[in-house]
Structure 1
Amino acid sequence: MKLAYIVPSLALWANGACAYKRLSPQQAANDIKGQDLNNSLQKLYNIALDNNNSRAFGLPGYKASIDFVHKRLSHGDQFDISVQPFTHLFSQTRKIALTGPKGEKVDVVSLQYNHATPLPGGVTAPLVLIPIDDERGSGCFEDQWKGIDVKGKIALIKRGKCHFINKLKLAKDNGASAAIVFNDNPAQTAGSGSLGAENIGKLAPVGVITYDRGNAWADRLKSGETLETNLIIDVITEKRETWQIIADTKEGDPNNIVMLGAHLDSVQEGPGINDNGSGVAALLSIAESIKQKSFKNKLRFAFWGAEESGMIGSNYYVSNLSKEEASNIRFYYNYDMIASLQPYYIIYSDSEAHKTGAQYLYEYLTEHGYPAEYTPFGSSSDYIGFLELGIPSSGIFTGAGPPQDVCYHTACDDIKNINEEAFLVNAKAAAYAAASLALSVEEVPKHEISSTNPSSKRGMTRNMARWANVARGAEKVHSCGSERKVFM
């Protein structure tokens, strides 16, 4: 629904034209202040603290985040604001508990879209070790399960090399009542990951444990011991309505739109301050910096919902664009995790078309002494839908997981989990780039739209399933040289 809040304008009008000062890229960057960015982050953090330390889709903290952003954008008469509702399958683990062979309580973590065990008692069964294969990955292929009797038992599987989904599907297909996956290095945290709504009913219930605990159990099983454990998982899964905000400047040509997006939701396990309060705060400061300025091309700000469930909101948005509406979006910038404590300065670009917008991010960062580098897009943030449509895109990413962000997808992604220097310069670079394209998109090639608005629910479902396969789960992916980080 379209919501526009209008208050008397303070702008001066003369001869029917608004006497706004012309937007300047350098001034837009200068207008971004660290204190303003930090104030926005503190607001988001306070919302999380008031809502069980989370701002995740389907939970009260997300609705409070929507209200906060809407209120910020509604000050003045600069934006046409839309709140776009959509529904998605919500999943939350209400309880997970693991009891070890001696009756001891064992630390265990669940995953989004996990499967419930029988309740109330869960699964009590012997552990069966799936042979450890550090070359191919343990339990990743059907031949690795041959000759192993897991029917009615709990499979113990080492993490790594392939997605959890592969391991858990094979566990279920081979009759396992549940699976316990242990981390594949001592420094690894379970973090948060998604098994994907499309896999409900297809996988074994799973708990994730530490490397040390899993290795110890594996050694005992190899020596011939019998180990019996109990795993209880209680999961709620239901469709829930959620929302995202789209705000267009009233200034600018509606046929030439420069779009900036950042996902507003966190994971259920934490407040999501770097991921992705950092991107949200940057967009809010940029929106403030361009108020009462004149520029040629319209700017559009998007605060996406349910990204952590698989880029659901942004994909819903692009799925519902007409061909004309999609053609009018000349460039898309994505800002997801721009303040990691030990940052990369990654600028997404893997074509000349992408570089027409990426160059401004690169130019600002390198001219200010930061080691920015062009890097191909990954497969797991809100740029996915825009790339699918052929819309030139870019964005900044500073890294997920250790060492860049050791609190990625955990409860410690809080107000202290921010590199303020990286945060400020990246937000300034984003403002500089937005202002540059707001003044001219002449270098940006006109794009052919590779797919358009689905003509039916069936068509949209096909598109959503295809995107889900491309961007499996809610993992962050990036490449830096030969390094690649994927939640597996």
Structure 2
Amino acid sequence: MRLSLLCLALSSHVIASVIQLPLILQSESQVTITSGGNALVSSEALQGDIDVENLLDRAKHLFELAKLSTDDYAHPTRVIGSKGHIATIDYIYSTIASLGDYYTITNQTFDAVSGNVFESRLVLGSHVPKSATPMSLTPPTSNKKPVFGPLVLVDNDGCEQADYPSNISGAIAFIRRGTCTFGEKSALAGKAGAVAAVIYNSGEGSLSGTLGEPSPYHVATFGLSYKDSQGYIEDLQEGKSIYSSAYIDSIVEKIETVNIIAQTKGGDAENCVMLGGHSDSVAEGPGINDDGSGSLTLLEVATQLTKYSVNNCVRFGWWAGEEEGLLGSDYYVSMLSNEENWKIRLFMDYDMLASPNYANQVYNATNEVNPTGSEELRDLYIKFYQSHNQNYTLIPFDGRSDYDAFIKHGIPGGGIAAGAEGVKTKEEAEMFGGTAGEWFDPCYHQLCDTVDNLNLTAWELNTKLVAHSVATYAKSFQGFPERSSIESKVAQKPFYWRGHKLVM
């Protein structure tokens, strides 16, 4: 694999070890190039340039990059800090740099939190609950060995120190989900002297989430389903003793990783259309659909766009650390001055565009609760599907992907997806084909998210829609609302997700 300008900055010893990005990377560096004077972009022309075989070739290459992590993770992955992810960043950067004089490229380095659970086991009384799942970014149990103690029921939702009884010291805290974040509950349990914590769901279903930003007070923490928790709650309320054990072997560490930003040199720099996808995968697999499909779509559209001139600038973003809690997009938006924030007329999020059991999903972003312009973007997607005689469904705009930071800072946003862990209904199977009762992506966040996991029909259609969205706004913002505020109506709205992980 040839080395790009970015890899040269990483230095040879880092390419050899690449467990984390090197400290010698500057916080932000740029390569500036100028644009040509080609014909003005049109939706029809840019869509016509989309070739699914190009997308498939890129996906095959991305899987080869994921394999670079096999020695360290025992399987292909592109999780941040891995060789597979650093190679992904290099591939994106070098591809854009090879396009000549069309884009200004920025690599933006930032601190991130990375975690991995190697082994875990929870025993409550004499039973091993099947739904027990370690929280993301959980610390290990003491000395990475099993800890033992009685299971102690915490009062209320465990969001106040007073909710933790005196006998919690040396025990395993049993905490109901609700009111505050999982991280706060774990830290309060740790402060009270608990050796581990189990947070059980307050409603139907299993519970898998993240503790978020590490705290020195966090203890090893599991999530547990509502169903599995009920018998233990009844026994504890009756005063029965449940001697238990918990074991987690995990690591939580600070690393450095990189966002890649590419902006057209041409076009009105005061009025930019921005789109993004994340460059990383989960540790459990190579992430060729999630979000290889989105990030490679951006790369292909950016490549084809160089054939044309634009009236408004187009800015592409490849975010790192989405799977760890939207880290890259959060950092990017947080670093924008008010002046730079104002230049972004809208942000379009493209995450998982090729799910095998797909549906054409459009985020239901309304102006009532989101920055004005979000609804107009939603309607552009709907009209595209309608014009191609395609069905579509509206899905919640609930903070589960990289649009989150943008809409919280007043920037209109939206996007499309082909589906993740949700179960396809009978009605959706009639609308889109596929199999009712199965996930839209049965390999979501798993080792089998490989090239074979891609639905090329869905990917081609959705990439053409991405091209349509780019060409439409690169040509004109006519009819699209002006930015009205950097403050957002969504800022006070409670969000229960950070990316694809529950936080509360």
- TM-score, with length taken from structure 2: 0.75
User: Where in structure 2 are the equivalents of 1:339-358 lying within 5 Å?
Assistant: 339-340=354-355, 341-351=357-367, 353-358=373-378
8 A Cα contact 2:354 2:455, kept in partner: yes
User: 1:267 maps to which residue?
Assistant: 282
Displacement, 1:330? 1.7
User: Where in structure 2 are the equivalents of 1:247-286 lying within 5 Å?
Assistant: 247-286=262-301
Displacement, 1:91? 3.2
Displacement, 1:217? 6.9
User: Where in structure 2 are the equivalents of 1:172-211 lying within 5 Å?
Assistant: 172=190, 175-181=193-199, 193-197=209-213, 200-208=215-223
The DSSP-based 3-state class of the residue aligned with 1:50 is helix
Alignment of 1:115 onto 2:133: no
The DSSP-based 3-state class of the residue aligned with 2:463 is helix
Q: Distance in 2 between matches of 1:411 and 1:206?
A: 24
Displacement, 1:63? 1.1
8 A Cα contact 1:98 1:231, kept in partner: yes
User: 1:444 maps to which residue?
Assistant: 480
Q: Distance in 2 between matches of 1:96 and 1:83?
A: 37
8 A Cα contact 2:420 2:441, kept in partner: yes
User: 1:35 maps to which residue?
Assistant: 53
Match of 2:305 among 280, 287, 290: 290
8 A Cα contact 2:114 2:254, kept in partner: yes
User: 2:257 maps to which residue?
Assistant: 242
Percent identity for Structure 1 against Structure 2: 31
Displacement, 1:158? 7.3
Q: In the superposition, relative to structure 1, how do residues 201 and 471 fare at CA in structure 2: closer, same or farther (>3 Å)? A: farther
Deviates more, 1:242-251 or 1:117-126: 117-126
User: Where in structure 2 are the equivalents of 1:336-375 lying within 5 Å?
Assistant: 336-340=351-355, 341-351=357-367, 353-373=373-393
8 A Cα contact 1:115 1:201, kept in partner: no
User: 1:126 maps to which residue?
Assistant: 150
What do residues 84-130 of structure 1 show as CA deviations (whole Å, max 9, x unaligned)?
Answer: 11112333335434467669998964322212321153312233467
Q: Distance in 2 between matches of 1:407 and 1:125?
A: 37
User: Where in structure 2 are the equivalents of 1:7-18 lying within 5 Å?
Assistant: 18=37
Q: Distance in 1 between matches of 2:165 and 2:458?
A: 53
The DSSP-based 3-state class of the residue aligned with 1:81 is strand
Q: Distance in 1 between matches of 2:229 and 2:44?
A: 54
Alignment of 1:423 onto 2:459: yes
Q: Distance in 2 between matches of 1:393 and 1:296?
A: 20
User: 1:457 maps to which residue?
Assistant: none
User: 1:69 maps to which residue?
Assistant: 92
Displacement, 1:429? 0.8
User: 1:335 maps to which residue?
Assistant: 350
User: 1:455 maps to which residue?
Assistant: none
Match of 2:444 among 394, 398, 408: 408
User: 1:22 maps to which residue?
Assistant: 40
Displacement, 1:244? 0.7
Q: In the superposition, relative to structure 1, how do residues 160 and 334 fare at CA in structure 2: closer, same or farther (>3 Å)? A: same
Match of 1:86 among 110, 115, 134: 110
Match of 2:332 among 314, 317, 321: 317
Q: Which amino acid aligns with 1:36?
A: N
User: 2:3 maps to which residue?
Assistant: none
8 A Cα contact 2:157 2:178, kept in partner: no
Q: In the superposition, relative to structure 1, how do residues 347 and 380 fare at CA in structure 2: closer, same or farther (>3 Å)? A: closer
Q: Which amino acid aligns with 2:390?
A: Y
Q: Distance in 2 between matches of 1:265 and 1:320?
A: 21
Q: Distance in 1 between matches of 2:128 and 2:397?
A: 45
8 A Cα contact 1:360 1:436, kept in partner: no
Displacement, 1:436? 0.7
Q: In the superposition, relative to structure 1, how do residues 170 and 241 fare at CA in structure 2: closer, same or farther (>3 Å)? A: closer
Q: Distance in 2 between matches of 1:348 and 1:64?
A: 35
The DSSP-based 3-state class of the residue aligned with 2:277 is strand
- TM-score, with length taken from structure 1: 0.78
Displacement, 1:145? 6.1
What do residues 351-394 of structure 1 show as CA deviations (whole Å, max 9, x unaligned)?
Answer: 25223333332221121122235556312322122223322222
The DSSP-based 3-state class of the residue aligned with 1:83 is strand
Aligned residues: 449
Match of 1:384 among 381, 404, 408: 404
Q: Distance in 2 between matches of 1:31 and 1:184?
A: 50
Q: In the superposition, relative to structure 1, how do residues 172 and 450 fare at CA in structure 2: closer, same or farther (>3 Å)? A: same
The DSSP-based 3-state class of the residue aligned with 1:411 is coil
- Give the unaligned 5+ runs of structure 1: 12-16, 132-137, 453-465, 478-485
The DSSP-based 3-state class of the residue aligned with 2:330 is helix
Deviates more, 1:260-269 or 1:151-160: 151-160
Displacement, 1:258? 1.0
Q: Which amino acid aligns with 1:346?
A: V
Q: Distance in 1 between matches of 2:378 and 2:343?
A: 19
What do residues 429-465 of structure 1 show as CA deviations (whole Å, max 9, x unaligned)?
Answer: 111011011110122232144269xxxxxxxxxxxxx
8 A Cα contact 2:129 2:228, kept in partner: no
User: 1:459 maps to which residue?
Assistant: none
Displacement, 1:415? 3.1
Q: Distance in 1 between matches of 2:129 and 2:415?
A: 44
Q: Which amino acid aligns with 1:92?
A: N
8 A Cα contact 1:82 1:246, kept in partner: yes
8 A Cα contact 1:180 1:208, kept in partner: yes
Q: CA RMSD in A?
A: 3.9
Q: In the superposition, relative to structure 1, how do residues 201 and 226 fare at CA in structure 2: closer, same or farther (>3 Å)? A: same
Q: Distance in 2 between matches of 1:27 and 1:119?
A: 60
Displacement, 1:349? 2.4
Match of 2:320 among 302, 305, 308: 305
User: 2:500 maps to which residue?
Assistant: 476
Q: Distance in 1 between matches of 2:493 and 2:413?
A: 21
What do residues 294-318 of structure 1 show as CA deviations (whole Å, max 9, x unaligned)?
Answer: 2211111100111222222222212
Q: Distance in 2 between matches of 1:222 and 1:321?
A: 51
